[in-house]
Structure 1
Amino acid sequence: MSSIHDFATWEPLLRLLRDGNAQKLAAPDGYVAGQISRDSWSMPLRRPSPPPGRAAQVEDVQAEYDAVGRVCDALGEGADDDGVSFMVEIAPTGRTVLHLLGSGPAAQFGLGPYPGSLLLVEDAVPEPWRRLPEPSPGAAPAPTADPALLERTLRERLPDAIGATEEEIAAAEERLGVTLPEELRALYRVTRARWEDWGDDHEAAEREAQAVGCELLPPDRVYVADARSRRCFWEFGAMEAVITPPDAKVQGLVGSPGWIAFGDNGGGDRLAIDLTPGPRGHLGQVIMLSHEEDTGAEPIADSLTDLVMGRLAEGREHHDEFPAVARVNVRALPSVEAAAHPDLEVLSIGAWEDEPVSLAPVIGLPRLRTLSACAGTLADPLEIAGLTGLEFLELGPEDWRVLLDAGAVPHGLSAAAIEVRGDQHPLRIADLADEILALGNRPAIPRTVVEGDLGPAL
């Protein structure tokens, strides 16, 4: 067991939580809950106000950073790579019971102290992550693709650059299992983008990025941006759909075996050569995969030559998600009837001010695979039993209770989620999650109880 399960690791943080939540902890069955990952945390900590006339500074919250830092340092020592949720009860005497909830193989890390998606089928991924590109037999390179011009231009801009050898390019192709396009091979013959080649020239990387049009990855770091390269959280991925209109340049995929990622825009978005373009795209066009989106990519240039020459594509492509994805709420579709369509894949029922709705209009739809319904929006949760094609279901705790008690949870689910609103007891939500996981004979959420004594509050 790692030090994440040691009371001493948590003690400074628990003292801060007690100081800021004395009234809540003193209430009957009182507790404080939160979560910590290695790069963020969420919990009810009281932060001191800076003196009048001065902005908040790091030293004002140094105690918080130090206390949380002890827990973050311990996370990497064990299996809690994503993070840990916790609930703590502290008696007036200082007697402390800390409940730690991990993610484990069947429960993804969630928001706040509650579990994320529950995997009822091992290694299952949402449908968009299983989608392969459609064939594009008529696709051809753009007329602007000119490896010779590209190479000549870059040699003029980067006269001192060290290019990759044919052996290095061949090694990259063997590792990827794909032949690099001629434009990309020409680029790497000019520069291999290795830091060690630049020595003490600290501005070399910036000059190269300006010359190429992006921050270039070395040949040994080029990768295939297939669906596995985009991390999948079920509660988000199940709400997506692959949409590729007839006039699209880029297929609306999560990833493709024909997307060869070779660069970065400096903000975490990857540039790739597209060998599986959309109906109006060019073979070898340059696309950008946003780190803030789960599906699709933005066309950047018709060819790598265009990127280098600064001839960029005009704007983003915008595609309507309906009818594949339908959102019923006070600001979107007015009813479930309006969402019903043979192509409907994802139905989300959100904030609702009218009477609870019936699911009858969407029962029997052939492609419906995801249902997410906020608590109190469904007139009869048992209607869900008629949605036999569901692979993902997200409901509030009360609706899950109705389904579980009636034995009416759809049998084909690959994953599920509990939508928690407000302050609900984390252990009761974890118990409900374990009950759902048991339907697929999946492991329960890992739990550890750590006890200690903080002594009376001063």
Structure 2
Amino acid sequence: MPSLYDFATWEPLLRLLRTAHAPALAAPGGQVAGNIGRGSWSVPLPWRQPPPGRASLVSDNQDQYDAIERVRDALPEAGLDDVVFVLEIAPDGTTALGLFDHGPAAAPGIGDAHPGALTLVEGAVPEPWRRLPEPVPGARPAPSVDLMALERTLRERIPDAIGATEEEIAAVESRLGRQLPEEVRVLYRVTRARWADWGGDYDAAQCVFDAVGFELGALEDLAVADPASRRCHWEFAASETVLTGPDDAVQDLVGSPGWIVLGDSGGGDRVAVDLTPGPRGHLGQIIMLDHEQSIGASLMADSLTSLVRDPDQEWPTGGRWDKAPVAAIVHHQSLRSIDAAAHADLEVLRIGRWDGAPFSLAPVIGLPRLRTLTAYAGTLADPLEIAALTGLEFLSLAPADWRVLLDAGAVPRTLSAAAVEVHGGGDPRPTIALANEILALWNRPPITATLVHGDLGPLG
């Protein structure tokens, strides 16, 4: 048995949790829950503040770090990336620790122990992640492209750079499956941007970055910014939409086979050459993919020549943040009725917190493109109306609404993913049981439980 399921692995953490939550654990049915992963954790322990005038140090909460680290170190041996725990302790110290493995079909929750999205169809991704770029037959390189001036400027700025051979460039093009724009070929003929060529000299590297206008990556590291490279939780990704307007320079996409990443902004944003521009864009324009966004890119320059000559020039992207009527939010601070959201182009409908009478979904029944519905607890007058939404691929509901659908055998079978929406934390076990019922309809692997017993002794 992996050490993750050894009571001794958990004991230091359990003692801290008992001290912090003694009244709650002593109450009938009392429990404490959390989630520990290899990269992060959500454990309900109070954070000790440093003395006034001093910054917080790891040592201020060293016992917490050490106790959590014991569990994290045990995850790889068990083959897990994360584990949910539910702790119950009797007054005499008898302890029951439930450990839950999400398995391949359920994602961990964000910020608490409740499960996240359930992938009902193996390998399924939300519609925006399947969207391909629209063809723009009239797309041409920008008038600013000047190959001779580009090469001359780069060689003047980085005279000692080592350039790539034609064979090296051809090998990368073969791997990518497409020919690089001539400006990019010129760039790498001047410098192949290998750290080995700079001999570990950061000043030499910075000289190249300053010459180009961004942190240029090595030729052999060129990669396509496809949708798979832009990961996003299903429950968030399903509510995203892509909408390219007629005046947009860059297509509103998650990724594109024509976005070839050349480097980085220095702040985590990818810089790419765009071979699938928007209606008002240019073939070979330079774009930036914001690492804090899942959709779209901004225009850095209409060509590499322009960027090298004037890296501080601002370029209008043409993108619009308002995604109405494709996406709509109904709640007390936005649209105030389902009728107001109903539109033939509606793809995503989110119903948020609402203090008035619950809504009927009748106005959106029959809409051809509606694929995502999320509804806050108590906002649906009749959850069974969901059965008439025949194009849904993602559905997020409160437990009571899921219960209505499950008992009536009315869960839409068009779904590719789903989520049980729970607010306020609490015992995750009822949510896990409900999630397993939903997974069973698609014969997907359930969230599994292992019970570990121990004895912490009386609370001293």
Give the TM bin, normalised by the shorter chain.
over 0.9
State the match for 2:265 in structure 1.
265
Within 1, Cα distance between the matches of 2:68 and 2:148? 55
Map 1:311-326 to 2 at 5 A. 311=311, 312-314=313-315, 317-326=319-328
Please say if residues 113 and 425 of structure 2, whose CA atoms lie closer than 8 Å, have aligned partners that are also in contact. no
Q: Given the alignment of the two structures, is residue 100 of structure 1 paired with residue 99 of structure 2, yes or no? A: yes
Map 1:74-153 to 2 at 5 A. 74-81=74-81, 83-111=82-110, 112-153=112-153
Deviation at 1:201, TM superposition (A): 1.7
Within 1, Cα distance between the matches of 2:29 and 2:75? 28
Within 2, Cα distance between the matches of 1:137 and 1:315? 22
Residues 179-209 of structure 1: CA deviation (Å, up to 9, x unaligned): 1111111111122222222224232222222
Residue 350 of structure 1 aligns with an amino acid whose one-letter code is G
Please say if residues 114 and 425 of structure 2, whose CA atoms lie closer than 8 Å, have aligned partners that are also in contact. no
Match of 1:156, SS state, is helix
Please say if residues 249 and 279 of structure 2, whose CA atoms lie closer than 8 Å, have aligned partners that are also in contact. yes
Please say if residues 150 and 305 of structure 1, whose CA atoms lie closer than 8 Å, have aligned partners that are also in contact. yes
Please say if residues 4 and 74 of structure 2, whose CA atoms lie closer than 8 Å, have aligned partners that are also in contact. yes
Match of 2:444, SS state, is coil
Within 1, Cα distance between the matches of 2:152 and 2:130? 41
Percent identical residues: 64
Map 1:273-312 to 2 at 5 A. 273-311=273-311, 312=313
Deviation at 1:388, TM superposition (A): 0.9
Give the number of equivalent residue pairs.
Answer: 457
Map 1:42-81 to 2 at 5 A. 42-81=42-81
Please say if residues 83 and 101 of structure 2, whose CA atoms lie closer than 8 Å, have aligned partners that are also in contact. yes
Deviation at 1:149, TM superposition (A): 1.9
State the match for 2:171 in structure 1.
171
Please say if residues 241 and 321 of structure 1, whose CA atoms lie closer than 8 Å, have aligned partners that are also in contact. yes
State the match for 2:412 in structure 1.
410
Deviation at 1:437, TM superposition (A): 0.5
Say if 1:313 and 1:413 are closer, same or farther in 2 by CA, change over 3 A: same
Within 2, Cα distance between the matches of 1:282 and 1:332? 37
State the match for 2:199 in structure 1.
199
Please say if residues 243 and 319 of structure 1, whose CA atoms lie closer than 8 Å, have aligned partners that are also in contact. no
Please say if residues 33 and 426 of structure 2, whose CA atoms lie closer than 8 Å, have aligned partners that are also in contact. no
Within 1, Cα distance between the matches of 2:173 and 2:6? 48
Deviation at 1:315, TM superposition (A): 5.1
Unaligned runs of 5+ in 2: none
Taking structure 2 as the reference length, the TM-score comes to: 0.95
Please say if residues 235 and 419 of structure 2, whose CA atoms lie closer than 8 Å, have aligned partners that are also in contact. yes
Please say if residues 245 and 319 of structure 1, whose CA atoms lie closer than 8 Å, have aligned partners that are also in contact. no
Residues 254-294 of structure 1: CA deviation (Å, up to 9, x unaligned): 11111101111111111111101111010011111111111
State the match for 2:344 in structure 1.
342
Taking structure 1 as the reference length, the TM-score comes to: 0.96
Q: Given the alignment of the two structures, is residue 241 of structure 1 paired with residue 235 of structure 2, yes or no? A: no
Match of 1:203, SS state, is helix
Please say if residues 376 and 397 of structure 2, whose CA atoms lie closer than 8 Å, have aligned partners that are also in contact. yes
Residue 259 of structure 2 aligns with an amino acid whose one-letter code is W
Deviation at 1:166, TM superposition (A): 2.1
Say if 1:12 and 1:164 are closer, same or farther in 2 by CA, change over 3 A: farther
Say if 1:74 and 1:363 are closer, same or farther in 2 by CA, change over 3 A: same
Match of 1:48, SS state, is coil
State the match for 2:390 in structure 1.
388
Within 1, Cα distance between the matches of 2:392 and 2:344? 15
Within 2, Cα distance between the matches of 1:284 and 1:115? 43
State the match for 2:8 in structure 1.
8
Residues 212-258 of structure 1: CA deviation (Å, up to 9, x unaligned): 11111212211111111111421011101110011111111111111
State the match for 2:214 in structure 1.
214
After superposition, the CA RMSD in angstroms is 1.6
